[in-house]
Amino acid sequence: MQRLLPLVIVAAMLLGACSPEITLLTRQPASTPTAESPSGQPTATPAPTRTPSPSAYPDGHETPGPRLNPDVVKGLEVEAWVSGDVPGLGQLAADFNGSNPWGVKISLVSHPNLNLLAGAVSASLESDARPDLVLALPEQLLGWRDSLLDLAPYAASAEFGVAREAILPAFWKQSALDGAQYGLPVIRSGRYLFYNVTWARDLGFDAAPQTWEEFRAQACAANAAWKTDSDPSNDGFGGLALEVTSNWQTPYGWLRALGGEVFAEGAYTFESDANAAALQKLVDLRAEGCAWLPSTLTNFEHLAARKALFASGGLGDLTDQRAAFSAAESADEWTVIAFPGERPVVPVYGLDVAVFRSDSGRELAAWLFVQWLLKPENQARLARASGLLPVSDAAFELLKSDYAANPQKGAAVGLLSQAVGYPRSEQWGLANKVLADGFLYLFRAFPNASAQSVLGQMDATVDDLVK
């Protein structure tokens, strides 16, 4: 485990050099899977739109809504800082500028990626050049919370509010902390297991696994199928293709599904009995030959070639996985499923929008754009442009035909009842790199690293980075 600490420190030093993957997405949403596709996977039946109500508060905290006087915003121009990788946002801002009755103008200032955006925002807080609003990761917003407006009272406005119950709870809560709502969700993604349904049927399985025991049985059956020929060189294929790149969503999904957790009582704790037991299941799976670590840059080709029954991926990977099946000339049906375990989960992540404190006119002008951006029709436009997920029931309803034409995306929507958020902590941007690097190291060093020792090194590394 000697290399884990240097790897993470380098990653932390290079925060401004690259952008996190926004193939974006912690309780059950109002959109409930009620039907099944031909693959046996659920599809979503979104709930109808609800009107704003005074229930729009973080964590049940109730605050009187302000009186919003739109006359004070007439003709104001406010500045929104964004990352350049939010497709469709520019056109939406232009449409708002041309249609709102108050003459409010939103000026977008685009930064190359989310890390450079975060650096610019942090620097601006020491000057008078701060933005009026920002689209960023929830953990970034929590780091600026002393300068942000609590949006709960605005969301509760009868005339200009946003109905909390119309937005999926998994998304709403990510920027809520200590009774304040520092941001509201704009767009989301999730991490899943990609699953070759046709091959599973050929192996004798008619349904996707929900528990660890069901998952292990299918993974080991896939590996056993590769051992029936006379070629010993392919005996390691089948089952689960492990991650070939460093990302936090996959290990977080496995830990949560298998009873683990990384954050409790305001502190990160990787080394715990529950986390060790969860990772040990995956280590044992590899020792049995039912999981393997490819040497390729991606796993898409392995799922298409039946070298893997399972491989992890995000919403942004659906197009590449579809292309791999096409390149392999495979007619196999495939879908996405939750990480199986004690409680199947889908890690969700994405961008939230926040408003900086300034004066009442500018704050209200910025809020009017936030409220407009969260309207169902605008959410649907943003989701189509980005390939990601909207955040409200009504927007999902508007996209029903899109999901019918894209069965894997439809399956992803149907799994949102199993969504889990990640720790609401401003240090998550560092801690998640430790989680990602430690997980990748555990399997690259196999069998010379134990789950317990890697988790201990992860704790030591996080302590060094966040203290």
Nearest to 424, CA basis, from 339, 349, 355, 373: 349
- Alpha-carbon dihedral angle through residues 428, 298, 171, 388, given to the nearest 10 degrees: 140
For residue 127, tell me if it sits in a domain. yes
Count Cβ atoms below 10 Å from residue 200 Cβ, excluding itself.
Answer: 25
Distance from the Cα of residue 383 to its chain's centroid: 14
Q: What is the pLDDT along the chain (467 residues), one digit of tens a residue?
A: 444 544 443 344 333 333 333 333 222 333 333 333 333 333 333 333 333 333 333 444 444 456 788 889 999 999 999 998 689 999 999 999 999 999 999 999 999 999 999 999 999 998 889 999 999 999 999 999 999 999 999 999 988 999 888 898 889 999 999 999 999 999 999 999 999 999 999 999 999 999 999 999 999 999 999 999 999 999 999 999 999 999 999 999 999 999 999 999 899 999 999 999 999 999 999 999 999 999 999 999 999 999 999 999 999 999 999 999 999 999 999 999 999 999 999 999 999 999 999 999 999 999 999 999 999 999 999 999 999 999 999 999 999 999 999 999 999 999 999 999 999 999 999 999 999 999 999 999 999 999 999 999 999 999 999 86
Q: Which residues contact 331 (CB under 8 A, 6 or more apart)?
A: 198
Clarify whether residues 146 and 62 are in a common domain.
yes
Q: What residues have CB less than 8 Å from 352, skipping those under 6 apart? A: 135, 136, 137, 138, 141, 174, 175, 183, 184, 185, 186
The count of domains in the chain is 2
- Are 325 and 378 in a shared domain? no
Contact 356, 122 (CB under 8 A): no
Q: Is the same domain home to 320 and 250?
A: yes
β-pairing, 419-420 vs 32-36, is: unpaired
Integer-rounded Cα Rg, in Å, for the chain is 23
Same domain, 333 and 440: yes
Whole-model pTM?
Answer: 0.86
328 and 382 in a single domain? The answer is no
Write the CATH number for 391.
Answer: 3.40.190.10
Assess whether 218 and 335 both reside in one domain.
Answer: yes
Neighbouring residues of 18: CB distance < 8 A, sequence distance ≥ 6? 113, 115
- CB neighbourhood size of 64 (10 A): 8
- Does residue 391 form part of some domain? yes
Structural domain contains residue 29:
no
Query: Residue 278 and residue 259: Cα distance in Å, rounded?
Result: 7
The token pair at 130 is 């701060």
Give the tokens for residue 314: 């995000």
**Residue 65: φ, ψ to 5°:** -75, 145
Burial of 402 (0-12, 13-18, 19+ CB in 10 A): middle
Quick check: is 142 in a domain? yes
- Give the integer Cα–Cα distance in Å for 406 and 449: 41
Same structural domain for residues 337 and 359?
no
Domain interval for residue 358: 47-189+350-420
Cβ-proximal residues to 465 (8 Å cutoff; 6+ apart), any chain: 8, 9, 12, 427, 430, 431, 434
Is residue 31 a part of any domain in this protein?
A: no
Residue 33 lies in a domain: no
Check whether residue 52 and residue 143 sit in a common domain.
yes
Single-letter amino acid, residue 45: T
